[in-house]
């Protein structure tokens, strides 16, 4: 009976307290990866709809000129930046480059991701 999963055990997984930086990096990488995968499937489904002709294309363009879709695009770009930079950190550590400095690399790359995300969000939302 010791190997039985309990509700308390599962709830502990969602507790954000006492998590290390590497755990947060792992969770962030998984969440952004899942989000980008979901976006890929939605994107492919939408492209399939657009193959139906010009009317479908014009209807799609009218739909995506909505601020909600623009915000979604900002989230996709942000997820791509975070996932990509974190992936570079994981790759470097995996081949032995900077393995002892993973925490510092995470902080630096996350700060870079925030700066790049703000830059692209301003470009996308303000049309600059």
The domain total for the chain is 1
Q: What is the CATH number of the domain that holds 61?
A: 1.20.1300.10
pLDDT digits (tens, 9 = 90+) for 37-91: 999 998 898 888 778 888 888 888 888 888 888 899 999 999 999 999 999 999 9
d(CA 30, CA 32): 6
83 located within any domain: yes
The reported pTM is 0.80
| 2 occurs within a structural domain | no
The verdict on residue 113 lying in a domain is yes
Question: Quick check: is 1 in a domain?
Answer: no
Pick from 112, 46, 27, 43: nearest CA to 76:
43
CA distances to 57, 66, 69, 88 from 62, rounded to whole Å, are 9, 8, 11, 37
Question: Does 5 fall in a domain?
Answer: no
Domain ranges, residue 87: 21-126
Residue 93 phi, psi (nearest 5): -65, -35
Is 81 part of a structural domain of the chain? yes
| pLDDT tens digit sequence for 84-125 | 999 999 999 889 888 888 889 999 999 999 999 999 999 988
Q: What long-range pairs does 18-22 form, CB within 8 A, spacing at least 24?
A: 21/103, 21/106, 21/107, 22/102, 22/103, 22/106
């Amino acid at each position: 009976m010791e190997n039985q999963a309990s509700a308390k055990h599962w709830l502990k997984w969602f507790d954000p307290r006492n998590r290390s930086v590497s755990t947060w990096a792992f969770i962030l990488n998984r969440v952004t990866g899942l989000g980008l995968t979901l976006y890929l499937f939605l994107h492919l489904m939408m492209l399939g709809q657009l193959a139906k002709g010009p009317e479908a294309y014009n209807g799609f363009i009218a739909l995506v000129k909505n601020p909600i879709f623009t915000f979604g695009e900002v989230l996709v770009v942000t997820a791509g930046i975070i996932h990509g930079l974190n992936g570079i950190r994981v790759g470097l550590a995996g081949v032995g480059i900077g393995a002892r400095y993973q925490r510092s690399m995470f902080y630096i790359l996350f700060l870079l991701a925030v700066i790049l995300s703000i830059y692209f969000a301003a470009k996308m939302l303000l049309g600059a």
